Structure 1
Amino acid sequence: MTKGPIPLAGVLQAADKPSAVTALYDHWLAVMNLPGRYVPLTVAPDDLGDVIRLLPKAGFIGLNITRPYQRRVLDHADIITDRAALMSGANTIIFRRDGKIHADNTDGYGFIENIRQGAPGWNPKSGPTAIFGAGRTAREVVTALLEVGVEEIRIANRTRARAEALRSEFGTRLVVTDWVKAGNMLEGAATVVNTTPLGSAGHPELRVPLDGLTPGAVVNDLVVSQAPTRLLQAAIEGGCYPVDGVGMVLYQAAPAFERWYGTRPEVDERAREVTTAAFSE
């Protein structure tokens, strides 16, 4: 029998956006036989500060943060890591024993680790990276890629102004391409990343021409899907190294779990199956 209060962690999410990572954390807690609960929470944006300050008193040791709260939560943190500041948002909150609220972002780590595990031998300096999309996920990917030394990032977004805004912030290593010419970015690209929801359930396919994929390129689609997306299928057929999106979910979740519960969970095939199935529900 467990003595004392059960440590709680949770995910702060929009009311209409159920979190698939709940199944992943429940799986890790069960496999590791740890006392704990992972609780989905919904809160009105105006109540965010009051709720976050109250949660430690209710037994919470940490939170995952989803959109649209990731930027807003920084206003209520006592400690903000350089990564969270650079990405202008936090996906992980730790309620410290000294009462301070610690905000971090593990998405960049999860992205890079997923590629390294999915394509061993990947060299970020082997050539340009092409990115579809310029939203918050793209920002996290750009930050991570620049940090590991990618020298040129080609980026296209359906609204060009968003891609130009990233270039203005991150500098001339970013090269913006019109969306109608996005397929041209693939020529000579050593790494290709789709950060858009195109190809996921409820969204249209990614209709960018893919015949320009370079054999041997690492192709990462951040869409989580039971079957290979159009982009990953093209990568397989074109002699590239396909890397799916579920790995980023797993590898960004593992360090958060460790900070809350003190033990690093294993990213294995069963964890992958649980997460993929939850996204498909």
Structure 2
Amino acid sequence: MIWPRPDGAHLLKPAPHHGLAEAQCGNRARALDRARGTRNGSPPIRSGEKMTVTKAPAACLIGWPAAHSRSPLIHHYWLRTLGIAGGYVIEAVPPEDLRDFVLRLSLRGFVGANVTIPHKEGVLALSTPDARAKAVGAANTLWFEDGELRSTNTDVEGFINNLDASAPGWDTADEALVLGAGGSARAVVFGLRERGIKRIHLANRTIARAETLAKQFGPNVQPVTWDGIDDVLPRAKLLVNTTSLGMRGQPSLDVDVARLPQAAVVADLVYVPLVTPLLAAAKARGLRTADGLGMLLHQAVRGFELWFGRRPRVTDELRALVEADLTKS
């Protein structure tokens, strides 16, 4: 894992080079050429301004704080196994410095970036968001296309692809129950609507937030009071927790999975602990489950492909690597 120097001008250490085909080298060169475009009003480097210099393409994670992220572990694994000379680092960027940092992203030597809290909404105005990022109201991935800084939200495909891998056929469900109404819930609801789930119930302790989100997504998304969850459970073939309840150090999520249909699938976006009390209860009942680590891994795939020109795979080896790292925390 590579950590930035305190002055923010750290050097990027490329992953080991195992001999690349000429075509792959060409892809990286084109990626760097695109990254050096100056559209979106990128300001010139100031006199004396430090910037990251690297011969290999590099991406970063922008957050505040961000030191806890497993993204460097994931991306360096792919760089190593695919034999790509590249880098991925963490950039701790306070909110007041976000605009300056993003507009100088390519000048700092980066071909793109992941974005985490609290910047997922702020980067929308600093980039050209795709339809998905606009609908979700947040972006977590930046890349350059023909010199233009673009943004998208890969949490949507991370959630959907993880369900496809963990519980094939889950999308035959007519009704789903989503717990929470924050940014993660927006990505989940968007993905469920894309896959054709006919009715989505959205439960939140503050019902006004669920009502606001439901109005934005249309009539097939219906707000539910927290006390009304038990009434919806018998009809829900998919239950998704997007809240922090059940996370280590947080209160447990009090939901009676015994009320769910036997064919139901239970997904939890929390991945610390890996098996949350909700997932443990679902497994004990014999229900299929999808954990938060799977979503974390799958959401990283598209960003890597956009930056480095190769589509990586989520493998058992990668999952075991990240699981081992999680046990250290």
Report the residue type matching 2:110 in the other structure.
Answer: F
TM-score by length of 2: 0.80
> Residues 91-106 of structure 1: matches in 2 within 5 Å?
91-96=140-145, 98-106=146-154
Following superposition of structure 1 onto structure 2, how do residues 15-54 of structure 1 map, counting pairs within 5 Å?
A: 15=65, 18-54=68-104
**Counterpart Cα distance in 2 of 1:141 and 1:23:** 25
Does the 8 Å contact 2:114/2:140 carry over to 1?
yes
**Structure 1 gap segments, 5+ residues each:** none
C-alpha displacement of 1:104:
1.1
**Separation of aligned partners in 2, 1:62 and 1:14:** 17
- Whether 1:9 and 2:59 are equivalent positions in the alignment is yes
Match of 2:235 in 1: 188
Query: Is 2:322 aligned against 1:265?
Result: no
Deviations 1:159-204, CA, capped at 9 Å, x for gaps: 1111111112112212222113323321121111011111112211
**Corresponding residue SS for 1:215:** coil
Q: Quick one: which of 239, 244, 260 aligns to 1:197?
A: 244
C-alpha separation between the residues in 1 aligned to 2:222 and 2:130?
A: 28
| C-alpha separation in 2, matches of 1:16 and 1:147 | 30
* Correspondent of 2:299 among 252, 259, 270: 252
> Shift of residue 237 of structure 1?
2.2
Instruction: Label 1:17 to 1:58 Cα distance change in 2 as closer, same or farther (>3 A).
Output: closer
For residue 184 of structure 2, what is the amino acid of its counterpart? T
Q: Counterpart of 2:255?
A: 208
1:129 aligns with 2:179: no
Residue in structure 1 matching 2:279, options 232, 235, 257: 232
Shift of 1:91: 0.6
Question: 1:175 is aligned with what amino acid?
Answer: Q
User: d(CA) in 2 for partners of 1:143 and 1:218?
Assistant: 18
Equivalent position amino acid for 1:45 in 2: P
Aligned partners of 1:113 and 1:248 also within 8 Å: yes
Specify whether residues 266 and 88 from structure 1 end up closer, same or farther in structure 2 by C-alpha distance, changes over 3 A only.
Answer: same
| 61, 67, 72: which one aligns with 2:117 | 67
Q: What amino acid sits opposite 1:90 in the alignment?
A: A
Between the aligned partners of 1:178 and 1:86, the Cα distance in structure 2 is 24
Question: C-alpha separation between the residues in 2 aligned to 1:15 and 1:21?
Answer: 14
Matched, 1:57 2:104: no
> Residue 107 of structure 1: which of 148, 155, 158 is its match?
155
The 5 A counterparts of 1:117-156 are 117-122=165-170, 124-156=171-203
Aligned length: 278
Q: Is the 8 A contact 1:216 1:239 kept in 2?
A: no
1:133–1:61 distance in 2 versus 1, CA, 3 Å: same
In 2, Cα distance between the equivalents of 1:176 and 1:144?
A: 17
- Contact persistence 1:232–1:242 (CA under 8 A): yes
2: CA distance, partners of 1:29 / 1:218: 33
Q: 2:130 aligns with which of 81, 97, 112?
A: 81
Displacement of 1:226 in angstroms is 5.0
Partner amino acid, structure 1, of 2:123: V
Aligned residue type for 1:164? E
Distance 1:125 1:267, change over 3 A: same
Q: Which amino acid aligns with 1:268?
A: T
SS in 1 for 2:198: coil
Query: 1:277 offset after TM fit, Å?
Result: 3.5
Q: Determine if contact 2:72/2:89 at 8 Å carries over to the other structure.
A: yes
Aligned mates of 1:235, 1:82 — CA distance in 2: 34
Match of 1:218?
A: 265
Maintained 8 Å contact 1:6/1:59? no
When structure 1 is superposed on structure 2, of 131-140 and 169-178 the one drifting more is: 169-178
* Cα distance, 1:156 vs structure 2: 1.0
CA distance in 1, matches of 2:324, 2:203: 30
Please say if residues 125 and 151 of structure 1, whose CA atoms lie closer than 8 Å, have aligned partners that are also in contact: no
**Greater displacement, 84-93 / 48-57:** 48-57
Task: Report sequence identity in percent.
Answer: 38
- Please list every run of 5 or more consecutive structure 2 residues that lacks an aligned counterpart in the other structure: 1-15, 18-24, 26-53
Structure 1 residue 17 displacement after superposition: 5.7
Cα distance between partner residues in 1 of 2:150 and 2:85 = 22
